[in-house]
C-alpha cells in the first residue's frame, strides 16, 4: 500500500515546494531601470577618522553595548563580526554624519547578493548596501555602496575581500506634515574609501527588496541598524555625529 501512496506524497510535496519557491522568486521587486555599470576604481584607501569631539561613539573596538540584539556578535581584536542577528543602536538619530569601517569576509563564499552582504540601515529604513563587490557581479543598484534598489554607486571602489574599507555617510532625515505626507525627502551622500560614491542622492523612500521605494511617516529620530544577512562581515570604529536641522 505504502509503495503506491508514497510517490503521490513525494509529488505533492515537490509541487508545494516548487510553488513556494516560484512565489518567493516573484516577490522580488525589480524597478526595470537599465543602469550603466559603475566605473571600477583601483587603489582607494579607507579613511580611518577617529571620532571627533561631540560624536556618539557606537563601537570603539571593545564592546557592542551601544546596540541592542548584538549579544551574539563576535567582538575580537578590535572588531565586531556579524553573528546571530541585526544589531540596532539603543540611541535614535535623525540627520547625521555616520562613520563606519567594515571588511567583507576574507574567505570568499557565495556570489552576488550572498557574498559579504550587510548594510547600514539608517533610521532602520534606508539602506546603504554593504557587499563584497570586488569581482562579484550583481545588479548595479544592489552592489556595494548602492542605495538599495534606488541608486547604484557612482563608482566601484571596493577593496579586496578581508581588507578594511570606510564609509562616511551624510544623511538628511525626511520630514513629514501632520497628515503623514513627506514634505522633505531624505538625502544621502556616501564617501567610500575617500571617493564620493553617492552625491546628495534624494531617496524615494524606504529601501525594500520586495516592493518599490516609498515613504511612510515616522519619528524625527530612529535607531540605526547593521544588517545580519548571514555573512560574517566585520565592523570597527563606528561613530555618529548628529546634525541639527
- Least distance between Mg ion and beta carbon 229 (Å): 5
Which of 119, 153, 206, 232 binds Mg ion (CB under 5 A)? It is: 119
Query: CA-CA distances (angstroms) from residue 66 to 9, 158, 172, 175?
Result: 51, 28, 22, 26
Q: Where are the alpha helices (DSSP H) in 27-152?
A: none
Closest-approach residue to Mg ion (CB)? 119
Minimum CB–partner distance for residue 241 and Mg ion (Å): 24
Residue numbers 206-235 binding Mg ion by CB under 5 A: 227
Q: Compute the chain's Rg from CA coordinates.
A: 20
> Dihedral of the CA atoms 175, 177, 183, 185 (nearest 10)?
30
Q: Which is nearer to Mg ion, 133 or 227 (CB)?
A: 227
Q: Which of residues 50-109 bind Mg ion (CB under 5 A)?
A: none
Which of these ranges, 68-76, 84-92, 125-133, 188-196, lies near Mg ion under the rule CB under 5 A? 125-133
3-state secondary structure of 125: coil
CA distances in angstroms from 231 to 73, 103, 114, 160, 180, listed in the order given? 12, 11, 8, 16, 36
Choices 19-27, 95-103, 113-121, 139-147; region in contact with Mg ion by CB under 5 A: 113-121
Cβ pair 100, 166 in contact under 8 A: yes
Give the nearer residue to Mg ion in terms of CB position, either 88 or 241.
88
**The three grid cell numbers given for residue 209, joined into one nine-digit string:** 527588496
Measuring CA to CA, how many Å separate 233 from each of 129, 131, 152, 183?
Answer: 12, 9, 21, 36
Tell me, by CB under 5 A, how many residues bind Mg ion: 4
Q: Closest CB to Mg ion among 147 and 154?
A: 147
Stretch that binds Mg ion, among 35-43, 119-127, 167-175, 183-191 (CB under 5 A): 119-127
Residue 116 engages Mg ion in binding (rule: CB under 5 A): no
Rank residues 113 and 241 by Cβ distance to Mg ion and give the closer one.
Answer: 113
Chain residues in the site for Mg ion (CB under 5 A): 117, 119, 129, 227
Amino acid at each position: 500500500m505504502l509503495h503506491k501512496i508514497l510517490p503521490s506524497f513525494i509529488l505533492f510535496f515537490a509541487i508545494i515546494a516548487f510553488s513556494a519557491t516560484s512565489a518567493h522568486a516573484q516577490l522580488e521587486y525589480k524597478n526595470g531601470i537599465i543602469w550603466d555599470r559603475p566605473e571600477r576604481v583601483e587603489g582607494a584607501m579607507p579613511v580611518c577618522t577617529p571620532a571627533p569631539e561631540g560624536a556618539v561613539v557606537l563601537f570603539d573596538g571593545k564592546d557592542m553595548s551601544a546596540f541592542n540584539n548584538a549579544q551574539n556578535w563576535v567582538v575580537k581584536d578590535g572588531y565586531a563580526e556579524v553573528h546571530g542577528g541585526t544589531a540596532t543602536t539603543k540611541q535614535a538619530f535623525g540627520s547625521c554624519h555616520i562613520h563606519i569601517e567594515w571588511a567583507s569576509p576574507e574567505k570568499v563564499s557565495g556570489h552576488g547578493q550572498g557574498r559579504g552582504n550587510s548594510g547600514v540601515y539608517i533610521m532602520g529604513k534606508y539602506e546603504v548596501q554593504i557587499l563584497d563587490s570586488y569581482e562579484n557581479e550583481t545588479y548595479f543598484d544592489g552592489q556595494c555602496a548602492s542605495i538599495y534598489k534606488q541608486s547604484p554607486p557612482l563608482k566601484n571602489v571596493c577593496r579586496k575581500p578581508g581588507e578594511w574599507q570606510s564609509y562616511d555617510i551624510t544623511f538628511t532625515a525626511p520630514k513629514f506634515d501632520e497628515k503623514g505626507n513627506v514634505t522633505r525627502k531624505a538625502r544621502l551622500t556616501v564617501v567610500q574609501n575617500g571617493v564620493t560614491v553617492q552625491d546628495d542622492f534624494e531617496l524615494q523612500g524606504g529601501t525594500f527588496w520586495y516592493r518599490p521605494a516609498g515613504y511612510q511617516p515616522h519619528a524625527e529620530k530612529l535607531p540605526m541598524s547593521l544588517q545580519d544577512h548571514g555573512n560574517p562581515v566585520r565592523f570597527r570604529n563606528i561613530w555618529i555625529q548628529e546634525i541639527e536641522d
